[in-house]
Chain A
Amino acid sequence: MKKALLTTALGVAVLFTTPALAGSGGATPSAENLNGALLASGCVVCHGQGGDSQGHIPSIDGLNKFQMVNALMEFKSGARKGTIMPRIAPGYTDAQIEAIASEIAGN
């Protein structure tokens, strides 16, 4: 029964490719995960949906990709001061920072 259900599910799955999946680069494991949608999903818990923050934490939806990459790279290097971002930014590779900025700011 399970097998039949899953065959149906997979059959349906072939019919649609979600935009999010289209950018995932398939499911081949690589050294670093560059999935922008998944990486950026961690940002919204503080900075709000699409970077539109409710409350005290700065919104980041007004930044373009260049500004966002720049800010994150500065937090990562220590050139830019902050409360928590200097702790967070070094956890991401340069390529992941690029993927996050693309996701939130667009290309």
Chain B
Amino acid sequence: MSNAKYNNTSRRDFLKIAGATGAAASAFAIGGCAMGPSGTGPRVVVVGGGFGGATAARYVKKFGPDFRVTLIEPQTSYVTCPFSNAYLGGIVDLNTITHGYSGLSKIGVHVVHDMVTGLDGAAGTVTLSSGKVVEYDRLIVSPGIDFKWNMDGYDEAASMLVPHAYKAGSQTVLLKKQLEAMDDGGTVIIAPPGNPFRCPPGPYERASMIAFYLKNHKPRSKVLILDRKDKFSKQGAFTEGWKRRYGNMIEWVPAKDVGIISSVDAGARSISTEMDTHKADVLNFIPNQKAGKVAHAMGLTGGGDWCPVDQITFESSVVPGVHVIGDAAVIKGMPKSGNAANSQAKVCAWAVVQLLSGATEVEPAVTSNTCYSLVSDDYGIHVSVIWKGTAEGYKKTSGGVAPANMDDAFRKAEAGYAHGWYANISHDIWG
């Protein structure tokens, strides 16, 4: 097992990121943060305040109450991707899916709103954009995703005209405004990313929620999904639900019939393939993905797109003492989902507390993922999996997708449970 590398004195992993100079940084005081983390125990620093990071901070404190936990997150509030589609559908407001960090401060986590610019794995420090240097005994990084810009002619500037809305916040608001401005009878095109990507059912729940909005407000309109895959998550359950609630309003075209997307014209809101050009009234192009920017800046991807990790402790295969969780990490058998990140964070928090309390080995965990998607306001579908951890990845012990041909009462119950899941998991993470 590749954990507990306390005696590793190698300097191979010594990393200095351009722009972060130790000498300059050490001259800075802890600006504006007189209070540190509560406790007198080992220092765990968590980078990223989303589903993975915020959960990790909370659960290190839960499993090791005397541990000193610092969470570093640039934003003062976090808008979740889960339920951002329900916002597009008009089912929840933005406030419902926005969370602050006071709940973590209350339990003694030191929350620092700053950006990590550098990692020194040998010294056990991270450097922040303010110049501050933070020491850790173990570091947990949950960087989320970044996009592979400039493929298909889609870049950050294009996303201001053609939103991806796959990091929730201003992009989600932009997409909703475009839907509201569209005339009845228009066509909304969604172009889901190729594998692997965050939240496999996400683009298809989005199609559902956009159709829900259109059915209520612009019923002559259409949703066209031009996919880069030939199958998708919960496909049978979505397809059944679409038929039952929206008739033929949603059309899904598999990659084999779409062809290879050659370009996106943001000004014209069109997508060109090797076969055709598709013109949209609202275009939602979701680019292909890789680990979040900070993971690359910290040297945790080992030159690849994602972060390789030990499958039991999620300790980085590249930099010892650093653990990577969530969408950015390669955790075999698990999807890149908010609930999976929450589960990984708990497993990781447990491992980190044990390792910093003298353990040399960590027991593989049994863990889970539950994901609800809304097809309509009264129609929910689940997928749930229980896994047993092994050194090679996560082996399913049970689970599955919501069964086919269930009655409306069953689907309505699951729509209610979707809201319940959101309320409870948000509370579990941000308080």
Contacts and interface: CB of A to CB of B under 8 A. Distances in A.
A14 B419 contact: no
A44 B424 contact: yes
Given A2-B122, A41-B346, A27 B363 contact: yes
Contact of A56 (B7, B364, B416): B416
Contacts of B417: 46, 56-57, 83-84
A106 interface: no
A18 B397 contact: no
B138 to A, nearest CB: 9
A86 to B, nearest CB: 9
B28 interface: no
A35 B399 CA distance: 21
A61 to B, nearest CB: 12
Contacts, number: 174
Contacts of B254: none
A42 B270 CA distance: 43
B132 interface: no
B216 interface: no
A54 interface: yes
B366 A54 contact: no
B365 A33 contact: yes
Interface in B368-406: 368, 370, 382, 384-389, 396-400, 402
A84 B370 contact: yes
A56 B122 contact: no
Contact of B321 (A2, A28, A38, A90): A2
Contacts of A5: 124, 135, 137
B67 to A, nearest CB: 9
Contacts of A3: 6-7, 9
A27 B360 contact: yes
Interface in A71-97: 83-84, 87-92, 96
A39 interface: yes
Contacts of B123: 1-2
A37 B63 contact: yes
A27 B359 CA distance: 6
Contacts of B260: none
Main secondary structure of the interface of B (DSSP, over half): mixed
A104 B204 CA distance: 35
Interface residues of B, number: 69
B21 to A, nearest CB: 17
Interface in B323-376: 339, 342-343, 346-347, 350, 353-354, 356-368, 370
B366 A30 contact: no
B43 A9 contact: yes
A35 B7 CA distance: 28
A56 B372 CA distance: 13
A21 to B, nearest CB: 6
B421 A33 contact: no
Nearest to A5: B124
Contact of A13 (B41, B135, B389, B414): B41
Contact of A53 (B9, B362, B424): B424
Nearest to A29: B363
B71 to A, nearest CB: 18
Interface of A: 1-3, 5-6, 9-10, 12-14, 16-18, 20-21, 24, 26-30, 32-33, 35, 37-39, 41-42, 44-49, 53-57, 83-84, 87-92, 96
30 contacts: A2-B6, A2-B123, A9-B42, A10-B358, A13-B356, A13-B358, A17-B357, A18-B63, A27-B354, A27-B360, A27-B363, A33-B364, A38-B347, A38-B350, A38-B367, A42-B367, A42-B368, A45-B339, A45-B425, A55-B424, A56-B416, A56-B419, A57-B424, A83-B414, A84-B414, A84-B417, A87-B382, A88-B399, A91-B387, A91-B399
